[in-house]
Structure 1
Amino acid sequence: MESVKYLYGASGHCKVIIEILKSINNKVGAILDDYPKDNFLMDIPVIEFSKTEILPGDNIIISIGNNGTRKKIASNINADFAVAFHNKAIISESAKIDKGSVVMAGVVINASVNIGKHCIINTGSIIDHDCNIADYCHISPNVSLAGNVIIGEGTHVGIGTCVIQGVKIGKWATIGAGSVIIDDIPDFAVVVGNPGKIIKYNHKNE
């Protein structure tokens, strides 16, 4: 993995990424923020993004939990994005994880999984064989995805959700905490319950 120089976004999510990087002995140089509220976060300097010159090779991770915000930032800055895996994550050698994505402690990613750009694979989640997770997704803590699950761009899968094998979840959907997904889910749907039911649709902002 590349050394990460900057994190973008002085948030609670940023704290978790700092600890991921500490687990692999990567000391972050600074945290960039559009409107810094404090001078330091976990002893790392917080500086205004607009006053920072980013040079080639200055690897960045966007440390903001909101999927849409990560996409907006990634689309508007010229930077080299890195990946970060906690040293207590288990990741198959055949898995592919794209730039900007982070993998928290206790995660298991099994064979032939593909994870896109700027994704969050959160604490203790399990991604089984041959799953495909598109860009800007958030797989929350303790989510379990069975084999061959497909998840579209920008979708948020809530904490403790279980998805059976072969299910396809569309883009920019929201799956509520503790849901059990046994059928395909369309784009922009908001789903809750066991079994999961569509209760409304997100605004189509893409």
Structure 2
Amino acid sequence: MKKLVLIGGGGHGKVVLDVMRAQGDYELAGIGDDKYTHSFRQDGILHGPVADMAELLQDDDCRLFIAIGSNRTRRAVMERLGYPESRYAVLIHPRATLGSGVTIGGGSVVMPGAVINHGARIGAQCIINTGAIVEHENALGSFVHISPSAALAGDVTVGDGTHIGLGAKVIEGLTIGSWSTLGAGAVAIDDIPAQCTAVGVPAKPIKFADQPGQLAQRRA
């Protein structure tokens, strides 16, 4: 059984650890989190600052997983660590359902009750959370989070870094731009541009990351 180093010791990290144990492919070797001021071992598992996990990762067979909920923070930590995607585990709960032809990038987790249907492509460092539905032939970029009970109909494209909120819905064939947020309970019936927050039924942008005070001009 391969060893795994988990980066992130918060609530999301505990859920990811449950998925790892249920999957049964990895043995936990260490938990790296900068909340620790020094390293220590507990039940044979190394706990300590992220930098102290390097000794475990000298073993080329040891895998890595960034268990942090924030999409931007996951990207920043991956860039800081500098390991290739191939060093990252893919964690899939046995109660998740995957269709034929599904591909999932390194560092991604699929939680219990999630459904990913035929031909969907999931990028690196994604979170497909509890009970989420990713329908056939969706294309998700990297660092995407599909929240619990959110649903993407067929042929949806989701850009890098985007967060689909709790219970949100996206109808078929739409594109949700990179680094955007679709709010909890929102229903997207039109494309959502990049770097914005969209809420409501139907979902409409309420602010843009690049020009937060210029929403009226962007709508015009």
Q: Fold match, TM over 0.5?
A: yes
Q: Which has the larger radius of gyration?
A: 2
The within-5 A match list for 1:105-184 is 105-184=112-191
**What corresponds to 2:32 in structure 1?**
32
CA-to-partner distance for each residue in 1:44-97, whole Å, 9 max, x for gaps?
A: 652222223222222001000000011111112133111100010001131000
Q: Which deviates more from structure 2 when the two are superposed, residues 47-56 or residues 59-68?
A: 47-56
**What corresponds to 2:77 in structure 1?**
73
Task: Tell me whether 1:12 sits opposite 2:11 in the alignment.
Answer: yes
Alpha-carbon spacing, 1:40–1:180, altered in 2? closer, same or farther (3 Å): farther
CA-to-partner distance for each residue in 1:139-178, whole Å, 9 max, x for gaps?
A: 0000110000000000000000010000100000011000
Alpha-carbon spacing, 1:147–1:15, altered in 2? closer, same or farther (3 Å): same
Distance in structure 1 (CA, Å) of the matches to 2:171 and 2:160: 19
SS of residue matched to 1:141? coil
SS of residue matched to 2:100? coil
Shift of the alpha carbon at 1:4? Answer: 4.8
SS of residue matched to 2:198? strand
**What corresponds to 1:51 in structure 2?**
52
Alpha-carbon spacing, 1:165–1:37, altered in 2? closer, same or farther (3 Å): farther
Identity of aligned residues (%): 38
Distance in structure 2 (CA, Å) of the matches to 1:40 and 1:182: 51
The within-5 A match list for 1:83-122 is 83-122=90-129
Check whether the contact 1:10–1:46 (CA below 8 A) recurs between aligned residues.
Answer: no
Check whether the contact 1:162–1:180 (CA below 8 A) recurs between aligned residues.
Answer: yes
Check whether the contact 2:7–2:33 (CA below 8 A) recurs between aligned residues.
Answer: yes
Check whether the contact 2:109–2:126 (CA below 8 A) recurs between aligned residues.
Answer: yes
Give ranges in structure 1 of 5+ residues lacking alignment: none
Task: Tell me whether 1:63 sits opposite 2:64 in the alignment.
Answer: no
Check whether the contact 1:10–1:36 (CA below 8 A) recurs between aligned residues.
Answer: no
CA-to-partner distance for each residue in 1:16-71, whole Å, 9 max, x for gaps?
A: 11110111223311111123279689996522222232222220010000000111
Q: Which deviates more from structure 2 when the two are superposed, residues 69-78 or residues 136-145?
A: 69-78
For residue 57 of structure 1, what is the amino acid of its counterpart?
A: D
User: Which structure carries more helix by proportion?
Assistant: 2
For residue 32 of structure 2, what is the amino acid of its counterpart?
A: L
Alpha-carbon spacing, 1:76–1:163, altered in 2? closer, same or farther (3 Å): same
C-alpha RMSD of the superposition: 2.1
For residue 24 of structure 1, what is the amino acid of its counterpart?
A: Q
Check whether the contact 1:15–1:42 (CA below 8 A) recurs between aligned residues.
Answer: no
Q: How many residues align?
A: 203
TM-score if structure 2 supplies the norm length?
A: 0.86
For residue 175 of structure 2, what is the amino acid of its counterpart?
A: K
TM-score if structure 1 supplies the norm length?
A: 0.92
Give ranges in structure 2 of 5+ residues lacking alignment: 212-220
